[in-house]
Structure 1
Amino acid sequence: MDKFTDPHTGVFYNKLGITDADELEQATKDASLRRLQELAAGYGPQGDTFDAPRLRAVHQHLFQDTFEWAGQTRREAGFQGVKAADLPGTTAVPMHFAPFERIDERLNALGEQLKLENNLRGLPTPEAFAERAAYYFDHYNHVHAFREGNGRTLQATFAEIAY
């Protein structure tokens, strides 16, 4: 277990008092979808930087209704985490996320690099944008800054970059 998970139920600590994982997952999806719509409409964190403070703010906005730890990275709880890399035809080898001690450093470096590329504005073709966006998405995803909600946080972030 980790500091984000109730050791008695195996369910993430949450503001809703839910102790069933499937019920919490659905409640989290419902609430975060509403918050994703707010971000798409221009409400919530805004700006031209995509560094650690910005991603924390996006995560906090998305999950403020569900998790008291919304906006906290794995670093705050000292959680390393791994993900099974079970690709067909390969031996399952765990994929290790970036070291939790270096989350802010890596997010800030990515944000600075992205800023140097003008947040991908003005690229000559949609294909060029897609290539650079995929590069950044892969790197942000490898950092895997949060215990839960990385995909939705990156979805909101990259929707803004694309816009």
Structure 2
Amino acid sequence: MASQFSSWDSYFWEPGGPVLRNLYGERDGAVLAQREYSETSAQQFDIARGAVSIPKTYDAEHLRAIHKQLFGNVYEWAGEYRTVGIRRNLSEFAHPADVPQYLSDVNRIIRGADWATMDRDQFAAAAAEVYAYVNQAHPFREGNGRSGKLFMQHVSELSPYRIDYSPAVSGVRPELWNQASMLSGPDRGSYEPQPASLVPVFRAMAVERPGQSYDVDRG
């Protein structure tokens, strides 16, 4: 896989894009987007109802397993790290060589937090820090947002809260989520993300849930 997808153009049917190579053989971008949405929605439902088991190890392999399950029927490189740099608007995500370190930091942060005892503000701050690192890693060529959101739902299971991404519940509309995510990137020339912009977003999306929360194995 790495040898095939080793340059920007190698991910596309034609040099310069715009349609990503896909397992459907689909060359119409609008049709691909719809098929991708339908496929990933179905896979996410299967994960949520327990029909598909994702080992919750809260590390790079956990995130890769989510991406592989969501996109494995769409892209050959599902679950594999991207080999090219990615920019979006003013955001420049991690260099491909730095992706493993960012995801190692994600695991370190999760295992260092006492999720089970958190109040809403503590949960919002911890979740924002974790997601800021996940977002900056942006480990995949496509599908980082959907994979990252599902990963964060798994993280929230360690706490007394669940994350509700519905704007009708949280008031967090997609443009606010995208702006907060963009602002969480590192300062130019720096490594560490700046999660402050994401804290109020996760506070708004945190919904207290009944029942026992599960602590993470710190071993």
TM-score, scaled relative to structure 1: 0.83
Higher relative contact order (CA 8 A, sep 6+): 1
Count of residue pairs brought into register by the alignment: 148
The Cα shift of 1:159 comes to 1.1
Whole-Å separation in 2 of the counterparts to 1:103 and 1:52: 9
Take 1:145 and 1:110, find their aligned partners in 2: how far apart are those partners?
A: 12
The one-letter code of the counterpart of 1:4 is Y
Q: Secondary structure at the match of 1:32?
A: helix
Amino acid in structure 2 at the alignment position of 1:3? S
In the other structure, the counterpart of 2:87 is 82
> How do residues 29-108 of structure 1 correspond to structure 2 at under 5 angstroms?
29-42=37-50, 43-47=52-56, 49-74=57-82, 78-85=83-90, 95-108=91-104
Give the alignment partner of residue 116 of structure 2, picking from 99, 118, 121: 121
The letter for the 2-side match of 1:104 is P
TM-score, with structure 2 as normaliser: 0.63
Contact kept, 8 Å, 2:113 with 2:126, in 1: the verdict is: no
Offset, 1:50: 1.8
Percent pairwise identity: 26
Larger radius of gyration between Structure 1 and Structure 2: 2
The corresponding residue for 1:91 is none
**Uncovered stretches (5+) of structure 2, i.e. residues with no partner:** 1-7, 158-219
Partner of 1:148: 142
Counterparts of 1:44 and 1:3, CA distance in 2: 32
Residue in 2 that maps onto 1:11: 19
Structure 1: 5+ residue stretches without partners: 86-94
CA RMSD after TM alignment: 1.6
